Amino acid sequence: MTFSQSEYSFGYIISLENDTIYGSIKNDDYSSSPKEVTVKQSDIITFNPSEIKGFFVNNSYYQSSICHLYKSEKDTLITSVSTDGVFVGSYYYETSITKKQVSEKDTAFFSTGQFNKIETAVFLRRIISGNLSLYTTIDNTGKELFFLYKNVYQDLLEKNNIFKNQLKSQMYDCKNLLSKIDSIDYSESDLKNIVYEYNKYIKSDAFQQNSKQKVDYYFGLLFGTEYIRLNFISDFDYYDFEGLTRSKLSFSPEFVFGCSLLKEHLNLSIGADYFKYYELLDYDDSYILFDFKYIRVNFAAKYVFKTKNINLFIGGGINNALSLKNDNYIYSKSLEKKIPIWDTYEKSSIGINLITGINYKRFIIQYKFYRASGIKNVTSIKSNYTSNTLSLGIILHKGKF
């Protein structure tokens, strides 16, 4: 059998080993998704999509992609282009006499797995290539379907204009295009233009400058009610108290600075709040004074679970309490002697904190648990300090650096 030269055009194929092999590609009708390609060199060879990675002819490149076929007990065939087992595109029954789109009920049945899975491959025509690539194929009803590619394939769903939100999620780093997406149609020309503009922006100097600003930062102010619990255990010559526990509500303002990493899922923050405690305990033979003030510096790492409107965060860290005032003592009435408590108390005390809360726009609701403990040598006082703080806050400023 012989072929005239007009039946072939110069092109190439990409082998499974990524080798580029040039030759004459048969001029078949590739307007619909081709199931095979014929190449003429010294011999005439036909390749299907599972045997090569793609081919180029007549200014168009066709990429090999996985396709799943599902055959039910009734010999109904359902096809879908997919990547890594994720179903994309449209699903259809295909029988000898009917061809109809699968309904939501049928799709639910389809998801139960009552089908025998067969893997094959198809060629997707590449419309535009770049940081974000656009591909197309024709389904078995003649409808054109479109796919984005950025690390993985993602089908663009026409129903209810879902494809517009899909485009926005892929082009989030080009805010100027987001409003344009709302006015486009599910067509090759519109999708090609918007993807072209996005790729052009990615290569621009403006994007390169903005891409260096990878860290978001913020300043915030929180006001909270703190439930404080102090526990002291001591045994010494002048006075003996064991298991003395004091509880009190306190007002706790806090200033916080933080930054977001890992696509805003990891949040690192440093904050400072003011804490004071005053109490005079009068007993028959003595009285005890607690009067101390601290600036607590809080270091925390939080993981953020992002949703559409509200972000949930959970994390923990350390607190370093810096002493501003420390006037604490026991006064023995019978001995007329003042016995210092925490006389050699360190200028700072390290504790741990656990944090959880929600963030809505610029508003924060936060719960924090804090605990610190220590042994003071002079008076052999063991102290434990815990607090539970519920705070409301606002982010005063956001920026990038």
- Determine the pLDDT at residue 284: 79
Q: What is the end-to-end Cα distance of the chain in Å, rounded?
A: 68
- Determine the pLDDT at residue 86: 32
- Determine the pLDDT at residue 280: 85
Beta strands 266-282 and 216-235 are: unpaired
- Determine the pLDDT at residue 322: 79
In sequence order, the β-bridge partners of residue 95 are none
Q: 384 Cβ partners below 8 Å, 6+ apart?
A: 230, 231, 371, 372, 373
CA torsion through residues 232, 236, 242, 247, sign: negative
Residue 369: how many CA atoms within 13 Å on its side-chain side?
Answer: 5
What three-state secondary structure class fits 132? coil
Pick the CATH number of 216-400 from 3.40.50, 1.10.1060, 3.10.450, 2.40.160: 2.40.160
- Determine the pLDDT at residue 176: 84
- Determine the pLDDT at residue 274: 82
pLDDT (tens digit, 9 = 90+) per residue, 223-254?
A: 988 888 877 666 554 445 555 677 878 787 88
Which residues of the chain fall short of a pLDDT of 50?
1-4, 68-117, 237-239, 343-346, 377-378
- Determine the pLDDT at residue 356: 94
Report domain extents, the chain. 59-209, 216-400
Q: Report how far residue 62's alpha carbon sits from residue 325's, in angstroms, rounded to the nearest whole number.
A: 75
